[in-house]
Amino acid sequence: MLERGEVANSWRRERWDSLRLLTPNWLSRLPGHRYEGPDPDGYMTSGEVVDFIERFAAVTQAPVRSNTNVISVRPVDDGYHVSTSQGDFRARAVVLASGAYNLATVPGFSTAVPVSVEQRTPLDYRGPAHLPEGGVLVVGASATGVQLAAELQRSGRLVTLAVGEHVRLPRVYRKRDVLWWMHESGMWDQRYDEVDDLTRARRLPSPQLVGTPERDTLDLSALTALGVELVGRWAAVRDGSALFSGGLRNVCSLADLKMNRLLATFDEWARATGREAEVGPPEEFPPTAIPATARLRLDLRGGGIASIVWATGYRPDYGWLDVPVVDEKGRLRHEGGVLETPGLYALGLPLLRRRRSTFLNGIEDDARAVIDHLARDLAARRIA
């Protein structure tokens, strides 16, 4: 196992200070290794996630070579040549487990933002104190965007949040964590080959969830109540101003509709499986509270906005992979983690084999399936 940093590197180096998992402790597990502390319904801090993964590495005696940066992987006869900062390796098979969130996705028009405005991504944002004084424009209303908008607004900044397509969820539904419903109903186990539009499902934004001791819901209505100003999707920069789409109402209605549909599916599952007694009565949530008129333009030169945080998504970095298995959008072409090039595999990508694939909890089944394939392939090659 080659790791450019230390065990749990992404949780040490690439998360903001206040981040907690959005998955509850009882659900954040690795093979044979689960949370055993006093708060199974709580949510781990980044530091606790580091400890959790470190303990797993120690218990399993994972053969990790840390501080070993993989610089290139290229095919050679019967395998791959792997160049690293600590020397070269030959391998018959390679599993790409380098993460789905290595780089921040930022729209091209960010280069037209006036230089007086500081720009950050979640990968280099640590907390409100590290941003210059003044208003903040947070772009993107998925898990990262809503969490950062709330934190910045609470710190006393004036925050504007640009909202595109998003997934609205209550933290708790019928007295159970919404991820309890996803897990117990089997929704999280839906397989990649059962999903209608896999490309779209793999690009689905993360749900508007935050893990707090109070188990608060952090949807757009909650942000409006905090004083965050909502605007539509940021579409362009013109003459030093940000131009927003007029579709805020539409994206919010769509998110409300999809949330209600999902909750109705949970209700139906509870009824059909006789689990009604375990949960509270069905609940209804008011439609997202949106401003009567949302602004369509925001001057970025007037000094009102001092910084922008691009919470517009993440993508993997395969700059070091010298094998033609990446599409024009930078995504790996694979079938449930098996690449078309023999001996090459992937783990830890969105909906790799199941909806739970990118979560800590998703690795066990995916790894078993992928490693099964790998072992069979190596055995067949040995026989050949």
Ligand X SMILES: Cc1cc2nc3c(=O)[nH]c(=O)nc-3n(C[C@H](O)[C@H](O)[C@H](O)COP(=O)(O)OP(=O)(O)OC[C@H]3O[C@@H](n4cnc5c(N)ncnc54)[C@H](O)[C@@H]3O)c2cc1C
Is 242 a binding residue for ligand X by CB under 6 A? The answer is no
Cα 69 versus chain centre, distance: 23
Contact with ligand X (CB under 6 A): which of 222, 262, 359, 367? Answer: 359
What's the closest the beta carbon of residue 320 comes to ligand X, in angstroms?
5
- The conformation of residue 182, written as its DSSP 8-state character, comes to H
**Which CB atom, from 223 or from 298, has the smaller least distance to ligand X?**
223
Smaller CB separation from ligand X, 312 or 361? 361
Q: Does 360 interact with ligand X (rule: CB under 6 A)?
A: yes
Query: CA nearest 207: which of 219, 195, 197?
Result: 219
Q: What 3-state DSSP class applies to 64?
A: coil
SS3 26: helix
Pick between residue 23 and residue 307 the one whose CB is nearest to ligand X.
Answer: 23
State how far the Cα of 251 lies from the Cα of 232, in Å rounded to an integer.
8
314 in Cβ contact with 101 (< 8 Å): yes
By the rule CB under 6 A, 107 interacts with ligand X: no
Under the binding rule (CB under 6 A), the answer on residue 67 touching ligand X is no
CB nearer to ligand X: pick between 25 and 245: 25
Q: Does 98 bind ligand X (CB under 6 A)?
A: yes
Q: Which two tokens stand for residue 372?
A: 């099964």
Least distance CB 283 / ligand X (angstroms): 23
Q: Does 9 bind ligand X (CB under 6 A)?
A: yes
Separation CA 4–CA 2 (nearest Å): 7
- Please report the sign of the dihedral spanned by the C-alpha atoms of residue 83, residue 89, residue 92, residue 98: negative
Q: Does 99 bind ligand X (CB under 6 A)?
A: yes
Closest CB to ligand X among residues 23, 288: 23
Which burial class, exposed, middle or buried, applies to 208 when counting CB atoms under 10 A from its CB (0-12, 13-18, 19+)?
A: buried
Cβ-proximal residues to 94 (8 Å cutoff; 6+ apart), any chain: 73, 80, 82, 343, 344, 345
Residue 358 in the binding site for ligand X (CB under 6 A): yes
Name residue 221's amino acid: S
Q: In what order do the strands lie in the sheet with 79-84?
A: 70-76, 79-84, 87-91
Note whether 121 binds ligand X by CB under 6 A: no
Torsion of CA 343, 332, 193, 201, to 10 degrees: 160
> Which of 30, 70, 305, 323 is in the footprint of ligand X by CB under 6 A?
70
Instruction: Report if residue 217 touches ligand X, rule: CB under 6 A.
Output: no
> Is 101 among the residues that bind ligand X (CB under 6 A)?
yes
Question: If binding is defined by CB under 6 A, does position 348 make contact with ligand X?
Answer: yes
- The residue count for binding ligand X (CB under 6 A) is 26
Site string for ligand X, 20-59 (x = CB under 6 A): -xxx----x-------------------------------
Nearer to ligand X, 48 or 267 (CB): 48
Q: Where are the alpha helices (DSSP H) in the chain?
A: 9-13, 46-59, 143-154, 178-184, 198-202, 220-226, 248-272, 363-383
- Per-residue contact flags (x/-) with ligand X for residues 131 to 170, judged by CB under 6 A: -------------x--------------------------
346 contributes a contact to ligand X by CB under 6 A? no
CB of 188 to ligand X, least distance (A): 11
Residue 170 is encoded by which pair of tokens?
């209550």
> CB of 211 within 8 A of CB of 23?
yes
Question: Which string of x and - marks every residue 304-323 that binds ligand X (by CB under 6 A)?
Answer: ----------x-----x---
Torsion of CA 105, 111, 115, 119, to 10 degrees: 0
Binding status of residue 5 toward ligand X by CB under 6 A: yes
Task: Tell me which residue of 369, 365, 318, 373 sits closest to 340, measured CA to CA.
Answer: 373
Query: Taking the complex as a whole, how short is the minimal distance between the CB of residue 267 and ligand X, in angstroms?
Result: 25
CB of 143 to ligand X, least distance (A): 7
Q: Is residue 187 a contact residue for ligand X (CB under 6 A)?
A: no
Residues that bind ligand X (CB under 6 A): 2-5, 9-10, 15, 21-23, 28, 69-70, 97-99, 101-102, 144, 314, 320, 348, 358-361
